[in-house]
Amino acid sequence: MYLFGMGIGIGGYLQAIEGVSYIEFIAPGIIMVPAMYSASFECTFGSFTRMTEQKTYDGILATPLSVGDLVMGEILWGATKSLISGSIMLFIIYLAGLMKSSILMVIPLLILVFLIGFLFASLAMIATALSPSYDFFNYFFTLILTPMFFFSGIFFPLSNFPAWVKIVSNLMPLTHAVNISRYFLSNVNYSHILSSTLVLIACTIIFSFLGVSLIKKRIIK
Partner 1 sequence: MSSSEIITAKNLTKIYGNITAVDGISFSIFRGECYGFLGPNGAGKTTTIKMVHCFSPLTSGELVVGGMNVNKDQRKIKEIIGVVPQEENLDPDLSVFKNLTVYARYFNAPRKEAEKRAVELLDFIHLKDRMNSRIKDISGGMKKRLLIARSLMNNPKVLILDEPTTGLDPQARHLIWQRLRLLKKAGMTMILTTHYMEEASQLCDRVAIMDRGKILLEGEPKKLVADEIGTEVIEMRLDDENQDAELLMANLEQFKKFKFTYERVGDTIYIFSNNGRELLHSIVDIKHTHLLHRPATLEDLFLKLTGRGLRE
Q: In the complex, what is the shortest distance from the CB of residue 193 to partner 1, in angstroms, rounded to a whole number?
A: 39
CA distances from 91 to 88, 104, 108, 113, 139 (A): 5, 13, 14, 13, 32
Question: Smaller CB distance to partner 1: residue 62 or 103?
Answer: 62
CA 39/CA 20 separation, integer angstroms: 30
Size of the site for partner 1 (CB under 8 A): 14
Exactly one of 10, 59, 91, 150 binds partner 1 (CB under 8 A); that residue is 59
| Residue 214 in the binding site for partner 1 (CB under 8 A) | no
User: From the centroid of its chain, how far is CA 102?
Assistant: 24
CA distances from 19 to 13, 15, 23, 152 (A): 15, 9, 12, 19
| Residue 3 in the binding site for partner 1 (CB under 8 A) | no
Exactly one of 14, 16, 65, 201 binds partner 1 (CB under 8 A); that residue is 65
| Residue 76 in the binding site for partner 1 (CB under 8 A) | no
Exactly one of 5, 135, 143, 221 binds partner 1 (CB under 8 A); that residue is 221
| Residue 101 in the binding site for partner 1 (CB under 8 A) | no
| Residue 217 in the binding site for partner 1 (CB under 8 A) | no
Q: In the complex, what is the shortest distance from the CB of residue 49 to partner 1, in angstroms, rounded to a whole number?
A: 10
| Residue 18 in the binding site for partner 1 (CB under 8 A) | no
Question: Smaller CB distance to partner 1: residue 50 or 176?
Answer: 50
Buried b (16+ CB within 10 A) or exposed e, 172-198: bbbbbbbbbbbbbbbebeeeeeeebbe
| Residue 54 in the binding site for partner 1 (CB under 8 A) | yes
CA dihedral 110, 85, 189, 166 (to 10 degrees): -130
| Residue 61 in the binding site for partner 1 (CB under 8 A) | yes
Q: In the complex, what is the shortest distance from the CB of residue 42 to partner 1, in angstroms, rounded to a whole number?
A: 13
Exactly one of 55, 142, 187, 205 binds partner 1 (CB under 8 A); that residue is 55
- Interacting residue ranges for partner 1, rule: CB under 8 A: 54-56, 58-66, 220-221
